Every structure is written in C-alpha cells, then in structure tokens.
Amino acid sequence: MMKKHPGMEHDEPYMAHVDPGKKGTIVWTFNRAGSFEFACLIPGHFEAGMIGRITVQ
Ligand SMILES: [Cu+2]
C-alpha cells in the first residue's frame, strides 16, 4: 500500500510518524498472549529490516 501511495498519512492511534533524529511513543495494550510483529511502513524500510516482534505471555 505504501509503495503505491508513498505520501499516505499515518494518523491512527496505533501508528506514529517520527522525524529523523526524533523520538515517539506508542502505547499498545494487549488483551491476549501471542507473538506480534510491528514494522515501519515507509517504502523499502520493512525490506531493510525495520521490523520487530513482541511476545506477550
Ligand atoms: Cu523506517
């Protein structure tokens, strides 16, 4: 989706856009255990490894 629409705004409570050199905070509340992935959606960043995994026990 981001490759098709690179100017797409990310303005959902579960998303953050952080300028280079800056910091941001997202608060996620999990209501079940499991393994969850998160990633940067800027085109090429996911492929470059800007991904992570959270394990909720
Ligand atoms: Cu990125």
Which one, of 30, 36, 27, 32, lies nearest residue 55 by Cα? Answer: 36
Per-residue model confidence (pLDDT) at position 10: 66
Q: 49 CA to middle of ligand 1, Å?
A: 9
Predicted confidence (pLDDT) per residue in 9-34, tens digit: 767 777 888 888 999 888 889 999 99
Residue 3 confidence (pLDDT) = 73
Alpha carbon of 29 to those of 7, 13, 14, 46: distances in Å? 28, 12, 10, 23
| pTM for this model (two decimals) | 0.63
Kindly give the distance from the C-alpha atom of residue 50 to the centroid of ligand 1, in angstroms, as a whole number. Answer: 6
Domain ranges for the chain, please list them. Answer: 1-57
Ligand 1: centre distance to CA 53 (Å):
15
Res 37 pLDDT > 80: yes
- Residue 43 C-alpha to ligand 1 middle, in angstroms? 8
pLDDT value at 2 more than 80: no
